[in-house]
Structure 1
Amino acid sequence: MKMKKITSQAAIGCFALMVASGCAKLNEKTYGSKYIDDNPTGSAAQLNGVYSQLYGQTDQANTYALQEHPTDEMMGPTRGTDWGDFGTWRKLHTHTWTPIHNQVNDTWDQLNIGVFRATQVVNKATDNNIKAQASFLRAYFMFQIVDLYGQQPFRDPDAPTSSIPTVMKRPEATDFMIKDLEFAEANLATTTANIGIANKAAAQALLAKIYLNKAVYKATTVGGPFTFDKADMDKVIEYADKVTAAGYTLEPAGKYFQDFAWDNSEKSHGNIFGFYNTETNAPASAKNRWRMGLHYNQTPDGWNGFTTLADFYNSFEATDERRGVDYPGLTDRVGLRAGFAVGQQYGPGHKALTQRSGKPLVFTPDVNLNFSTEAQGIRVFKYFPQPKADNTVNDDNSSNDYVLLRYADVVLEKAEAILRGGTPTGGQTALQLVNQIRVPRGASALTSVDLTVMLAERGRELYWEGWRRNDLIRFEKFNDPVDQRPNKTDKSKTVYPIPQRAIDTNPNLKQNAGY
């Protein structure tokens, strides 16, 4: 896998710098293959442009990579001459990135352009529902920026083009996001046609997440220690209860992967917000999520890249459905199992697959970040394509909806908020809520739960969904040693550096400590 296969929507040229950093000129209209209208009407068409900017979240690089590779559940090993990519993946896992790291730079551009586009619609919209959707999307982009970088540059599109963006620190930006989402909640529709259109529950789910992380964003010292205010935890519980009241539920026993399968649009009970895809139109396809781990000889073929860590895989009980199962219509056709893939791999007709050398294709728990063979490392297939009747797969237009906000996450957030001092509601305890997640998956019921157990359970439920870094930081575990990173890292790594090119063009930006 080479970096040329990455489909990131990183900004090019000076336009990215103007939006994110403050170049004096703002009349460029080209952004990749997208068109930027600097005279927006606040129409539905302009809103669609904001949604399309969000599609970059499905890339295996940039936001997703920054949130997953530095954690205890993902790494991108170099395999001979493949996946070297100038160390971009290794540096993320080992916490050795710098202010000129390509994905640190590209993610900054991508997210800040999303904020700018959303603000254009917010400023011009006369329809409150359109304005509310744009406010929600702006809050989502800002949430990722605040979480990853700790600072939020902000340019009013109506300001003179020569103006330099102001910069909000984490506390100010957090309050800004909350106000955006409160407006969104008040004005969004209760239900929408699909998960690709923000509704009230989407705003409530994101509000719960922001309040849960408020202690991180308002801490005086980056990386902690954190003090969780009871009032904030009560807000988490309030918004979680609102999402529950909207009718979202957990998947029944044996149906965990239903939230991610090719027919999740029709069958999911818990997907709140994400990207709506069909077989004829998949603008935000989930295919990167399986291709980044599939071996070349599997069906469909893949890029033979990312793996999980053995310790993370071993944190699952053998009976836990989330660890891996044969999935009807998938395993019986092409041999691929849902979840974690370890051991001998199979293809159509249950044929044992081989490596390119002819050796058996056996995925092994052992993996080396710098020097791995093509079969080393446990792979993960949380999303998977729909095989055809002839046992082939064309995944260019896969119908899996891609999920950003999910009800199981909200349930665990409520449980965590109770553990952190929030007042329980509905007669529920943190233990009951965690077991509500675990037991249908075939995991044993717990008899007690503390913060250590809570972090582990969030990992087991939400792996590969882009939340692990956020969780580890909140639990003050992000800098702990993991496989292929043997030493504890400095707390300054809990935020990424501001790209140097952004600092060079915006004097209001100051580099984060430690860089």
Structure 2
Amino acid sequence: MMNFGKKILLLGLPLTLILSNCTDLEDNVVGKPVDNTETGSCSAAKGNASEALGSAYARLNDFSDQSNAYAMEEHPSDEMMGPTRGTDWDDFGTWRKLHQHTWDSQHNQIIAAWDNLNNGVYRSLQSIYFATPAQTQIKAEATFLKAFYSFYIVDLYGQLPSTDLANTCDGAKISSRSQAVDTLVKDLNYAVANLSSGSAGKATKEAAEFLLAKVYLNKAVYKQDPQSPAGPYTFDKADMDKVIELCNAIIASGKYELTAKGKYFDNFHWENGTRSKELIFTVENNEGSPIANARNRYYMGLHYNQIPSGWNGFTTLGDFYNSFEATDERVGGTYPGVTDKIGLNVGFLVGQQYDKDGKKLKTRGGEDLIFTPDINLSAAGEEKGIRVVKYVPEPGNLDNGGHDYVFFRYADVLLMKAEALLRGGTDPNGETAASLVNTLRTTRGASTLGTVDLAAVLAERGRELYYEGWRRNDQIRFEKFLTPVDQRPAQSDAHVVVFPLPQKVVDTNPTWSQNFGY
């Protein structure tokens, strides 16, 4: 019944990127030369750098949709699936194929995400190209955004297109994953050097440091031989030391701290921009007119008869839910000002569901609405599956809350540092992986761990960052992505750690090669 919530952009064109130049829009197909007859050159026409930067920021709004890049990072993992329920949510198998690792190069979401992300890169390139030598701030922000979109292309697709706006006749070239990592490091070092601290809703020095740490943490994955993309990976000590250095810089800024014990969901409250000091990079939303609306994050799972009346779609996996301790506040439960007003809990919804007066909710067929962990991905009843509410709905304003949409959080900084230490890095400050992970766990109400190893860090990343779009990335780095999970009983083939390039792109650009295994 519910599909994507937004139109898939540019589905039929081979890597179409939009040239937004003042008020005119012109389609430019990457990989083909541009005949600039007015100027007699192969350079793109100059425009307004500030307007182009605004267009580059606007592309971030795509991530708040439940489909495309977000779905590709979550559904193939061990923490999310989208079951078909009768005629609801079949969508030609798009969600099942993601969870069961059976996609191909013509999968609709693989195509749409490619278009959206490359459009973000191109808009960022425009701003860089249009900027004057005096517009260092604009160029630095645009360079960060270029790296942000490029990171997702590299992570998902393993190759990175690029074009030189000063010489568009050459068309787009494609960089290998290894080459693309070098470009990411170069761009982010420039951003770190030229950005200052500021609002989480804009590119800042700390946001650039965070993303650069993420690149170094995944460098072993991205530098891997493309003929054996699933590893085993060898993590270089120098890279891990760099992760620690960057995380320490963010910590030393003094801008961020974990939310107080009992306040985990303040990170996702409709006033999270003022309630939380964990937010490093977000899309800032205004109540009543959010541009990256977080409503998808609760609508996509809630049942039709709950408030808000949801789309009865995505669920978590029972094994993932069972990885939490009962005392861990990240599991969720009642939430003052929400449960008493609309009957909804936050976190994981399992078992009988109630309205605000404690009355049992029912299915459309009149049975008790009891969310159960058992589920069949191809044919699920409407009550099957544990639902997740991470962004806290605002009673009285369910559709247009002011939740800032979160990309980077301080808790992830602590977990990246802990992982880098376990992978051979050295901390000049003398912190240990155990101290970092246990600080996080005790703040969240979980027990301390006697031993913290890599398996413990992966599990903790899941508990802390669930439904935030990092799980596929994490599982690949820890070499657990191919492991069977509920509704995917067999070991997956190694090549699926990278998605294919959309077939339309390969067909249109004969010098580009399809990824290994496709």
Band the TM-score falls in, shorter-chain normalisation: over 0.9
Q: Deviations over 1:415-445 (max 9, x none)?
A: 0000000002322100000001101111110
Other-structure match for 1:60:
66
- CA distance in 2 between partners of 1:367 and 1:347 (Å): 24
Other-structure match for 1:422:
425
- CA distance in 2 between partners of 1:16 and 1:494 (Å): 22
- CA distance in 1 between partners of 2:46 and 2:478 (Å): 42
Other-structure match for 1:164:
171
Other-structure match for 2:369:
361
1:22 Cα deviation from its structure 2 partner: 1.9
- Which one of the candidate residues 407, 422, 425 is aligned to 1:404? 407
- CA distance in 1 between partners of 2:399 and 2:322 (Å): 33
- Which one of the candidate residues 118, 122, 129 is aligned to 1:116? 122
Bigger mean CA deviation after superposition, 117-126 or 408-417: 117-126
Q: Deviations over 1:54-86 (max 9, x none)?
A: 110111000000000000000000000100000
1:196 Cα deviation from its structure 2 partner: 1.5
1:223 Cα deviation from its structure 2 partner: 1.1
Structure-to-structure mapping, 1:326-405, within 5 angstroms: 326-388=334-396, 394-405=397-408
Bigger mean CA deviation after superposition, 330-339 or 41-50: 41-50
Q: TM-score if structure 1 supplies the norm length?
A: 0.94
Q: Deviations over 1:283-320 (max 9, x none)?
A: 00101000000111111111000000000000000111
Other-structure match for 1:22:
31
1:158 Cα deviation from its structure 2 partner: 2.6
Q: Deviations over 1:362-390 (max 9, x none)?
A: 100111100101110000001121113xx
1:241 matched to 2:248 = yes
- CA distance in 1 between partners of 2:9 and 2:373 (Å): 33
Is the 8 Å Cα contact of residues 282 and 399 (structure 1) preserved in structure 2? yes
- CA distance in 1 between partners of 2:516 and 2:240 (Å): 29
Other-structure match for 1:47:
53
- CA distance in 2 between partners of 1:264 and 1:40 (Å): 38
Is the 8 Å Cα contact of residues 67 and 466 (structure 1) preserved in structure 2? yes
Other-structure match for 2:210:
205
Other-structure match for 1:89:
95
Instruction: Give the secondary-structure state (helix, strand or coil) at the position aligned to 2:490.
Output: coil
Q: Deviations over 1:299-343 (max 9, x none)?
A: 111100000000000000011100112111111111111100001
Structure-to-structure mapping, 1:111-510, within 5 angstroms: 111-126=117-132, 127-160=135-168, 162-192=169-199, 195-220=200-225, 221-247=228-254, 248-388=256-396, 394-510=397-513
Is the 8 Å Cα contact of residues 115 and 141 (structure 1) preserved in structure 2? yes
- CA distance in 2 between partners of 1:103 and 1:58 (Å): 14
Instruction: Give the secondary-structure state (helix, strand or coil) at the position aligned to 2:337.
Output: coil
1:107 Cα deviation from its structure 2 partner: 0.7
Other-structure match for 1:6:
5
1:396 Cα deviation from its structure 2 partner: 2.8
- CA distance in 2 between partners of 1:15 and 1:487 (Å): 34
Instruction: Give the secondary-structure state (helix, strand or coil) at the position aligned to 1:152.
Output: strand
Give 5+ residue unaligned stretches, structure 2: 18-27, 37-43
- CA distance in 2 between partners of 1:269 and 1:164 (Å): 44
1:350 Cα deviation from its structure 2 partner: 2.6
1:24 Cα deviation from its structure 2 partner: 4.5
Instruction: Give the secondary-structure state (helix, strand or coil) at the position aligned to 1:202.
Output: helix
1:507 Cα deviation from its structure 2 partner: 2.1
Pair 267,71 (structure 1): closer, same or farther in 2 beyond 3 Å: same
- Which one of the candidate residues 58, 78, 83 is aligned to 1:77? 83
Bigger mean CA deviation after superposition, 329-338 or 469-478: 329-338
- CA distance in 1 between partners of 2:476 and 2:250 (Å): 25
Equivalent residue letter for 2:2: K
Pair 20,493 (structure 1): closer, same or farther in 2 beyond 3 Å: farther
Is the 8 Å Cα contact of residues 201 and 272 (structure 1) preserved in structure 2? yes
Is the 8 Å Cα contact of residues 192 and 209 (structure 2) preserved in structure 1? yes
Is the 8 Å Cα contact of residues 50 and 127 (structure 2) preserved in structure 1? no
1:156 Cα deviation from its structure 2 partner: 1.5
Pair 323,202 (structure 1): closer, same or farther in 2 beyond 3 Å: same
Equivalent residue letter for 1:6: G
Q: TM-score if structure 2 supplies the norm length?
A: 0.93
Give 5+ residue unaligned stretches, structure 1: 28-37, 389-393
Q: CA RMSD in A?
A: 1.5
1:191 Cα deviation from its structure 2 partner: 1.8
- CA distance in 1 between partners of 2:170 and 2:399 (Å): 43
Q: Aligned residue pairs: how many?
A: 496
- CA distance in 1 between partners of 2:349 and 2:192 (Å): 40
Equivalent residue letter for 2:183: F
